[in-house]
Amino acid sequence: MSLKLESIALELLEYKVDEYRSTRSVRGGLPSLWELLGMLNRERERLTTDERNRLDEAGRTMTGLSKTAGTAAVVPSLVSLVLEDDAPALLAEEAAARPPTIGGGSPEERDEHAVLQRLARRVWWDDLEEYVQRVAAGWRAERDRLTARLVFATLQNLQRNADRSTFGQDVPGRGFRVIEPLPTLRDPLVSLSDLDALSEIVRELINVIMTSGKPGSPLPALERGESGALAYVRNAALAVANDPYAGRLSPDASKSLTSTQLRLALQELGKERLPEEEKAAQRRELERRLSELTARERADRQSFQRDTAHFVELVEAFFGRLAGYLPTTVGGEAGGPHLEGGVLFGVNPILKWERVPAEASAVTVRMVGPVRLTLAGHDLAIGGVGNDRTLYLDGEAVDLDGSRVLRRDRVRIGAFREGEYVHVRIRNDAKSLGARLADALVVNEVLASPQRDELLATMKVLANNVRGEVDEVVGQAVARANVVALRAPSRMKALEGLLRGAAKAAGVVVSDDTVGNVVARMAKVGTVEPSDLPGLVATSGASEHVVKTLTQEPMTFDLANLKITVRQYRGRDRAAQESLVAMLPGQVLGSFTESMLTPRPGGTLIFARGEEEVAVLFVPNRPDGTAY
């Protein structure tokens, strides 16, 4: 059972509100309640309808309390709460209690909040694009592209079933019928060899889930609401997997006779007025054909059972990974859409930035006039008249309309606009092979640890907004921890304090040895030089490793008695993310853009991609047998 930290935080807020109402005294004062309320509002998408109502009630109670409250106690810094176990740091400038909310109190603040929510959804889709490209690349490399065909057949059958008047009320999916069979590899309706077409299938499936019950959805609303959207589509895919040929045992079963038809022919032969010799000859021929056909149908049934079992495994694996990227509002496991950074010239004082911090890589700008700023080392300017706005990035003009993504070598620039607001973020994907390997080794340290479950719960707290598969969650946590630790006098002590504080917040106990091992790995992230690669490999625990130059042609790695092929895939769009797919003969191990860990008997394969090189390591299991 996954840890629902938001529910625990809500209970804590309700307890503290009740305590403050009774005694007018609570640790951190009223400002600490507003800080906790703000944190919960940012994760509102992860709460149930009942929990949202409770959160709103707590907010109303706090508003009433703040009207009669005098000067409140000081607010502890979030970093201090995590880094220190004793008294929190005192921030005098935040001493005055103020009752703002993320949703806003004034009409202008509420309007801004609505625009920012729409903007966050635009950014969310862009965040998902890397996952979409990885999935499409994996499908393209898969033998017979079965997963892609299953998902495409699911979309077709959802559309056919949506014509039923009772579709929305069919909550358990019992009325769902497989009408369209699994498409062939050369189906005229879809190009299963085209990476862009495969990407579009992934996007369409996600869109069906995300828009369930909303305007513009391709399907009628479900009676169970949007929270059941993922489960409904998954059940539809399982129905297709269990009946892939729409009522037949094989794709071409309808083109031949059946044993039932031959048995009927034998019965009718007995009624025919024919000479006995001729009737006997026809009976022998029919019985021979019936025997052959019965044997073939028996083989078809056995093959059908093997096929459906394999198809069900593919569907379960695909939707199991997909759940990590979709928000809890539709039945997934990830946090909802959110925006990094603050709002320059914003209306809501909670979100407003007076200036862009030097370390920021993302900002939302309320375009009230011409503006110049520096973001992640790049000069930005925004200007224009009326609805026509232009972003100037290092002197290059970019029209601001909807979503725009640019690539400059390994630098990715995203500009997303909604009305008078634009969100700009700059991400530098350039990393040496050593830096990528350092990231992967932290993930391996967590996943191979005897305290894996406790560490994963800790990492989810550190990551704050959980999204993606396990290795991505760990990566998010490590990146966030290192950003905070950079501001501390001792980076190692800060990382240790963050890890222990997150473990405490998660309600788990992590041993000193485990903390030390993970912190040692985390400390290397962000500080690795290209020349450090041999040392990283030496301390990785790998028994074998191979490093090769990245090429457009398939690369072969021979290690751990395996012949591994790594191949690069990329869509036609210039901004498309290239993905690497690792394969064994007849089996796709997975796809990755930076690094990937794959369990194997006896150990773990670690893949890491640098700017010009790819490394594959085999790390044997530990003596106690623990492994990813």
The greatest distance separating any two alpha carbons of the chain, rounded to the nearest whole angstrom, comes to: 112
**Whole-number Å distance between alpha carbons of 113 and 91:** 27
What is the model's pLDDT at position 528?
87
At residue 318, does pLDDT exceed 60?
Answer: yes
The per-residue pLDDT for 4 is 59
**Contacts (Cβ under 8 Å, ≥6 apart) of 596:** 440, 471, 582, 589, 590, 606, 607
Q: How confident is the model at residue 76 (pLDDT cuts 50, 70, 90)?
A: very low
In order of 315, 419, 575, the CA distances from 386 in angstroms are 49, 11, 29
pLDDT tens for each residue of 482-534: 888 887 888 899 999 999 999 999 899 999 999 999 999 999 887 888 888 99
Model confidence band, residue 295 (pLDDT cutoffs 50, 70, 90): confident
Decide: residue 267, CB within 10 A, 0-12 exposed, 13-18 middle, 19+ buried: exposed
| Pick from 129-133, 224-228, 320-324, 602-606: least confident | 224-228
The helix or strand, by DSSP H or E, that contains position 61, with its residue range, turns out to be helix 49-68
pLDDT tens, residue by residue, 554-584 = 999 999 999 999 999 987 776 667 899 999 9
Cα(490)–Cα(473) distance, integer angstroms = 25
Which pLDDT does position 9 carry in this prediction?
77
Q: What is the DSSP string of 189-244?
A: T--TT-HHHHHHHHHHHHHHHHTTTSTT-SSPPPTT-GGGHHHHHHHHHHHHHHST
- Return the pLDDT at 529: 86
Instruction: Say if residue 138's pLDDT is above 70.
Output: yes
| Calpha distance 130→133 (Å, rounded) | 5
Q: What is the mean pLDDT of the chain?
A: 84
Report how far residue 132's alpha carbon sits from residue 575's, in angstroms, rounded to the nearest whole number: 13
According to the model, what pLDDT value does residue 98 have? 45
- Report the pLDDT value the prediction gives residue 419, as an integer from 0 to 100: 92
pLDDT exceeds cutoff 70 at 413: yes
> 339, 350 in Cβ contact below 8 A?
no
Query: pLDDT tens, 321-371?
Result: 999 999 988 999 988 888 988 999 999 988 999 999 988 899 999 999 899
Instruction: Of 75-89, 381-395, 588-602, give the lowest mean pLDDT range.
Output: 75-89
Q: Count CA within 13 A, CB hemisphere, residue 435.
A: 14
Q: What is the pLDDT of residues 181-209, one digit of tens each?
A: 999 998 888 899 999 999 999 999 999 99
Percent of the chain with pLDDT over 90: 48
Look at the chain and count its residues: 628
Per-residue pLDDT tens digits for 7-42: 777 877 887 787 777 766 666 666 677 777 777 776
The answer for residues whose C-beta is within 8 angstroms of residue 47's C-beta and 6 or more apart is 6, 7, 10, 40, 55
pLDDT in tens, 429-447: 888 999 999 999 999 999 9
Task: Tell me the pTM.
Answer: 0.76
Instruction: Report yes or no: 337 and 244 within 8 Å, Cβ to Cβ.
Output: no
* Residues ≥6 apart with Cβ < 8 Å to 411: 426, 427, 428, 429, 430
Is the pLDDT assigned to residue 170 strictly greater than 60? yes
Amino acid at residue number 228? G
The 3-class SS string of 3-53 reads: CCHHHHHHHHHHHHHHHHHHHCCCCCHHHHHHHHHHHHHHCHHHCCHHHHH
DSSP letter string over 404-465? EEEEETTEEEEEEEETTEEEEEEEE----HHHHHHHHHHHHHHHTSTTHHHHHHHHHHHHSS
The three-state DSSP-derived secondary structure of 316-360 is HHHHHHHCCCCEHHHCCCECCCCCCCCEECCCCCCCEECCCCCCC
DSSP assigned state of 578: P
Q: Which residues contact 205 (CB under 8 A, 6 or more apart)?
A: 151, 154, 155, 233
Instruction: Supply the Cα-derived Rg of the chain in whole angstroms.
Output: 29
Domain locations in the chain as residue ranges: 5-102, 142-338, 353-426, 433-620
* Main-chain phi, psi angles of 130, to 5 degrees: -60, -40
pLDDT digit string (tens) for 446-491?
A: 999 999 999 999 999 988 777 888 889 998 899 888 888 887 888 8
DSSP 8-class letter at 541: T
pLDDT at 94: 36
Rounded distance between C-alpha atoms, residue 78 and residue 307, angstroms: 53
Q: What is the mean pLDDT of residues 409-433?
A: 91
pLDDT in tens, 79-134: 333 443 333 333 333 333 445 555 556 888 889 999 999 999 999 999 999 999 99
